[in-house]
Amino acid sequence: MSKSQMRLHATDPDITTEDVKRAIDRRRVRLYRSQGGRGRSWWLLWLLIGPGILVMLGENDAPSMISYATAGAQYGIGFFLPFVILTFAMAYVVQEMTVRLGATTHRGHAELIFDRFGRFWGWFALGDLILGNLLTLVTEFIGIRAGLGFFGVPPALSVLGAFFLIVAIALTRRYWTWERITLGLAAFNLLFIPVAILAHPVGSQVVSAFLTWGPLPGGFSQETILVMVAAIGATVTPWMLFFQQSAVVDKGMTTDDIRQGRIDTALGAFIAAIAAIATILATTPLFIHHINAANFAGAEFAQAIQPYVGDVGATLFALGIFEAGLVAAITISSSSAYAFGEVTGRSHSLNSSFRDGWPFYTILILAAGIAATLVLIPNAPLLFIVLIVNVIAVLAMPPALVFLILLVNDREIMGEQVSKPFGNSVAIAIVIFLCFAGLLFGISIIFPNLIPV
């Protein structure tokens, strides 16, 4: 602890290390805001971006990128390019609500559910989140193992190395440092763009796909439904709500920062959508050459596209899968720790000291550690876990969105930031769409004969 922090503690013992660190960050924001000017506005945005970009690129995780790769390999250039844009537009609408909630209430998502809907729903939301996050974390370490496996890295070394890196970043005990390191890692999600360029997609086909929303080879089948649901689950999932709202609070954002928070979220959605579309384009050669990639993992995709994008392209693809799993593991484990601290009333900040925040850091490390251990168990049902994660992500989102919509319409806590009628209409439409997608997915699994194969 610095001398200035010690003086503050001596003056007021209730002031924590977390409070001091956040105050330092907010002082810089107030300084740039008070000075104004065009250049200062850009610096202000630089100080405030982070949660939105991280949540979107964190959701471009290993299984999501593999889902996009599967879409490109099975359907080529067509329906799924504009469909990805639609899903990220939905993600923006949802995540913008968490920005307003966090900036207005200064409380995380789990804490608000606990306070506004009672202990039962608070613990239910926490249990549902932690279980879903644990299963998702397993898939991230699978992606990490697969990505580095392309380079011959042993599974134990890749998984344990990633785990210790996650722990090291978290234990910086500084939200700003954690956020900037993770943003730097997330930038590597753009590696899929040069791979797409090396695949030499036909420009006129790409433009036509966006203008005509198609074609969809093979028509609307059971397999198509599975890929569509996977694409939806790759962009809108419950952990995103908890993570971004808690990160907004941990960053210390206020209602004055909502505009920058929206820009941050929109920028994140745009970058993530570009990377997702690039992944589809990168694996389109597999569709053109009729290569069955239905059961491919990350390393197998990199190997399969190597004849068409070269050694450089295959290397970048494998590194992209590794990055996707690593960044998601960092953000998802943090969301579990945030939610646990919020519901239990313990310290829940990446600015916390070890003394104040040991339960927070313990949950974060345990979440990542258990997932890493499961991945290394011989003959573990990893493929089954991946399928279960996709199901949970889609089926768990509608109830999570209902809580979110009720909270952003609670005038007592939101005041002037309460949702407007148009925003509510769009949010309700998203809930209906997700319910329909989940229902269709369930029907295709339980009654496969009703859907043409």
The domain spans of the chain are 1-48, 54-450
Token pair recorded at residue 91? 């993600």
Mention every residue, 6+ apart, whose C-beta is less than 8 A from residue 406. 116, 117
Token pair recorded at residue 391? 């199901």
| pLDDT, position 284 | 93
Q: For all residues of the chain together, what is the average pLDDT?
A: 85
| pLDDT, position 346 | 83
Token pair recorded at residue 124? 């239910």
- Ranges under pLDDT 50 in the chain: 1-4, 6, 8, 10, 453
Domain at 54-450: CATH code: 1.20.1740.10
Residue with tokens 């590194």: 319
Burial code (b: 16+ CB inside 10 Å, e: under 16) for 370-406 equals ebbebbeeeeeebeebbbbbbbbbbbbbbbbbebbbe
CB 171 within 8 A of CB 337: no
| pLDDT, position 431 | 83
Q: How far apart are CA 374 and CA 332, in angstroms?
A: 16
| pLDDT, position 3 | 47
Residue with tokens 């519901």: 343
| pLDDT, position 244 | 95
Q: What are phi and psi of 107, to 5 degrees?
A: -135, 150
| pLDDT, position 337 | 93
Instruction: Look up residue 253 and give its amino acid.
Output: M
| pLDDT, position 8 | 47
Instruction: Look up residue 89 and give its amino acid.
Output: A
Residue with tokens 């969301």: 335
Instruction: Look up residue 249 and give its amino acid.
Output: V
Instruction: Look up residue 127 and give its amino acid.
Output: G
Instruction: Give the DSSP H/E element, type plus range, for residue 435.
Output: helix 421-446
| pLDDT, position 18 | 78
| pLDDT, position 6 | 45
Mention every residue, 6+ apart, whose C-beta is less than 8 A from residue 204. none
